Amino acid sequence: MSRVYNFSAGPAVLPEEVLREAAAEMLDYNGTGMSVMEMSHRSSAFAEIIENAEYDIRDLLSIPDNYRVLFLQGGASQQFAMIPMNLMKNRVADFIITGQWAKKAYSEAKLYGTANAVASSADKTFSYIPDCSDLPISENADYVYICENNTIYGTKFHTLPNTKGKDLVADVSSCFLSEPMDISKYALVYGGVQKNVGPAGTVIVIIRDDLITEDVLPGTPTMLRYKTHADAKSLYNTPPAYGIYICGKVFKWLKSRGGLEAMKEYNEKKAAILYDFLDNNNMFRGTVVPADRSIMNVPFVTGSEELDAKFVKEASAAGFVNLKGHRTVGGMRASIYNAMPIEGVQKLVEFMAKFEAENR
Ligand SMILES: *Cc1c(COP(=O)(O)O)cnc(C)c1O
């Protein structure tokens, strides 16, 4: 068996310890004689799995008591519709457009009401976060929406926007559990887990409980109402059981590593190794305004498409895989999520230096 350094943006690298544990429990989970994939979601064994998962994520993020944690399906993209269906009481929402994922959420919200783009960084290929200290927030906006970490472009909101008292909704898919966050500053936070937390198929929604009401847009399907899932404790129908089980293991792994403060420190250290190299060599450069850099997704280019392609190919052959950038940015992107060990980043940088020397 040989594991590669997987820099994929998602689905992405998971902690090896978690994968080994899951493998060991594959045929017989905790004396049940069956896999978690095979057990009833109403069984006591599964009840313990989902209850522990909720306990641990609450603990990790210090989630206040007036917020509910929901384990849902449909990926992050289903939230693009579910959020307006449930929260757009006045049928108005404001969006800050910092990339493809924010744009998709914005377009979807237009199906349900008036979606206003109150700021955008499209003018410079989303390479920065706009100044959000004094935006023209709509008087009757139900919420202000951001994509907090832009997976494709490698930017992150290091300061939350001034929403002028309006509820803030954030897609945190690609920075979820990479550092502590103050949940009380948000009305709703959600993340597709396949970026930094678990296997595709599960999305975690953290929502303030006053927003969980019967007052949703007409025609909202039962399955797309937050209240349905909150009332049933995420067991209205068969939940993404195996995904929740793996997420639970990742939560335990994060706690064993010292929690989110420690993860933040580790992630910053990893990102600094890569950014320092990008800032100090003569072949590669980052594509993002330094102040807005993400510590999870790091896009970079050589300036030559030919050289980019050569680098991606040779890196892959050397065991550094999935470094090709998104087609709208070109070049390369290294996603260095929680489970990417620091050695992976160090060795990548050594490889880049070697490539530079050989291709000068
Ligand atoms: C990947 C991603 C999505 C889409 O996730 P799906 O689960 O495939 O729908 C949405 N937002 C962000 C920030 C992402 O990185």
Q: Among residues 94, 171, 292, 308, which one is catalytic?
A: 171
Q: How far is the CA of 28 from the centre of ligand 1 (A)?
A: 32
What distances in angstroms separate CA 131 from CA 96, 125, 142, 161, one per listed residue? Answer: 10, 16, 21, 8
Hey, is 161 helix, strand or coil? coil
> What is the radius of gyration, based on Cα positions, of the chain?
21
pLDDT at 9: 97
Picking from 197, 150, 168, the residue whose alpha carbon sits closest to that of residue 56 is 197
Query: Residue 309 carries which DSSP code?
Result: H
pLDDT at 136: 98
Q: How far is the CA of 195 from the centre of ligand 1 (A)?
A: 8
Which is the closest atom of ligand 1 to the Cα of 151? 15
Q: Which two tokens stand for residue 58?
A: 């609450």
pLDDT at 205: 98
- Cα-to-chain-centroid distance, residue 148: 9
* CA–CA dist 26, 137 (Å, integer): 50
* CA–CA dist 30, 249 (Å, integer): 14
Task: Starting at the earlier edge strand, list the strands of the sheet with 67-72.
Answer: 67-72, 203-208, 188-192, 168-171, 143-147, 92-97, 114-120
Which residue ranges have their beta carbon within 6 Å of ligand 1?
10, 75-77, 101, 147, 151, 171, 173-174, 192, 195
Task: Starting at the earlier edge strand, list the strands of the sheet with 332-335.
Answer: 285-286, 297-301, 332-335
pLDDT at 328: 82
Ligand 1 pocket test, pick from 79, 80, 195 with the greatest ligand atom count within 8 Å of Cβ, gives 195
* CA–CA dist 342, 338 (Å, integer): 10
Ligand 1 pocket test, pick from 97, 173, 188 with the greatest ligand atom count within 8 Å of Cβ, gives 173
Ligand 1 pocket test, pick from 172, 174, 177 with the greatest ligand atom count within 8 Å of Cβ, gives 174
Q: Tokens 């990742």 label which residue? A: 250
Which is the closest atom of ligand 1 to the Cα of 172? 13
Dihedral sign of CA atoms 130, 9, 85, 244 in order? negative
Q: Among residues 94, 101, 167, 308, which one is catalytic?
A: 101
Q: Residues of the chain whose pLDDT is less than 50?
A: none
Residue nearest to atom 13 of ligand 1 (CA): 173
* CA–CA dist 90, 84 (Å, integer): 10
Q: Among residues 156, 166, 195, 270, which one is catalytic?
A: 195
Q: Residue 71 CB: number of other CB atoms within 10 A?
A: 24
Could you give the domains of the chain? 16-256 (3.40.640.10), 259-358 (3.90.1150.10)
